[in-house]
Amino acid sequence: MFGFGDKKIIFATHSNRFHTDDVFATAVLMLFLKDEEIEIVRTRDEEIIKSADYVYDVGGIYDESLNRFDHHQEGGAGARKNGIPYSSFGLVWKKFGKELCGSQEVADFLDKKIVQFVDAMDNGIKTFKEDDDETKTYLFIDAVDAFNPFWPEEEKFDERFLEIVEFAKRILQREIERAKNLEEAKSILKKIYDETDDKRIIYLDKNYPWENILNKYPEPVFVVKSRGEGMCSVNTVRDNIYSFESRKLFPESWAGKSGKELADITGVEDAIFCHNKLFICSAKSKDGAMRLARLALGE
């Protein structure tokens, strides 16, 4: 058992080794109850669990009206429409996510981006293709597990738990802020799209998060963006931002070229460079960047 401050609101979760779901469930509750004095109790003592204000990932009960958020009981604690069952993180998020984020849209976005993956992994469901033996993807669960005491370290589980919870809180705070900004950007980018005559080339004067917004429209092929560094970049649009397949690449003859060599090939005097993989190039001016984009369209 451990805590901080005066005993006011008691969180109870299981003791010993911690996992991503109980870590992030703790982080959500701490952010939600940010102005309250909290004591965190990591235990399996049934009497202590019964008396706690919030119980998650332990206790064998799911009843959000009583702030009980376990999923280990027979039958679990339900699943989403897509079949992904809830873990303690998802159950806590389902109740408090909207208020914590300020809108259901942001809460739903982060449920898809973060929460569902954690819930799936905690319930033994794979949502991605396995790596081969040579390369491994470093996952959320790996970062959390790195904080668990490991042989031959002293088993200070509670101390390590608090350390990773602080990390989880910062991740959630940043992701919530970014998701809110993304919602605002959607309306701004829609206005820019609507007001652009040739929608194949979209010009942005600020560093908007356009990648997974403008690709929802059928026409955009290139996005010209002011970089604020005395240059403009031309970026290819990808239907799936997690792949490297662009709607259209730059000409093969531009690959890896820069400076005078690229300028001679394109006829754009202030051309700066083109990536070897042909998904981004740049020029020193908006006019130069727009010319590169039009050339790539075959104009």
- The helix (H) or strand (E) run that includes residue 135 is none
Q: Are 164 and 152 in contact (CB under 8 A)?
A: no
The DSSP bridge pattern shows strands 222-226 and 201-204 to be parallel
Please provide the distance, in angstroms rounded to a whole number, between the alpha carbons at the two ends of the chain. Answer: 70
Structure tokens given for 41? 């109790």
pLDDT in tens, 171-225: 999 999 999 999 999 999 999 999 999 999 999 999 999 999 999 999 999 999 9
How far is Cα 271 from Cα 273, in angstroms, rounded to an integer? 6
The lowest-confidence range among 3-7, 119-123, 252-256 is 3-7
Does the pLDDT value for residue 244 go beyond 90? no
Average pLDDT over residues 150-179: 97
Residue 251: how many CB atoms within 10 A of its CB?
Answer: 15
How far is Cα 76 from Cα 67, in angstroms, rounded to an integer? 16
In 151-274, beta strands by DSSP E: 201-204, 222-226, 232-236, 271-274
pLDDT in tens, 89-118: 999 999 999 999 999 999 999 999 999 999
pLDDT in tens, 71-83: 999 999 999 999 9
How far is Cα 197 from Cα 96, in angstroms, rounded to an integer? 43
Q: Are 242 and 222 in contact (CB under 8 A)?
A: no
How far is Cα 143 from Cα 165, in angstroms, rounded to an integer? 12
Q: Are 230 and 242 in contact (CB under 8 A)?
A: no
How far is Cα 121 from Cα 111, in angstroms, rounded to an integer? 14
Q: Are 182 and 113 in contact (CB under 8 A)?
A: no
Contacts of 95 (CB under 8 A, 6+ apart): 64, 69
pLDDT in tens, 212-226: 999 999 999 999 999
Confidence tier at 131 by pLDDT (50, 70, 90):
low
Does the pLDDT value for residue 6 go beyond 60? no
3-state secondary structure of 10: strand
Question: Cα 10 from chain centroid?
Answer: 29
Which pTM does this prediction carry?
0.86
How far is Cα 77 from Cα 65, in angstroms, rounded to an integer? 14
How far is Cα 272 from Cα 278, in angstroms, rounded to an integer? 14
How far is Cα 246 from Cα 211, in angstroms, rounded to an integer? 11
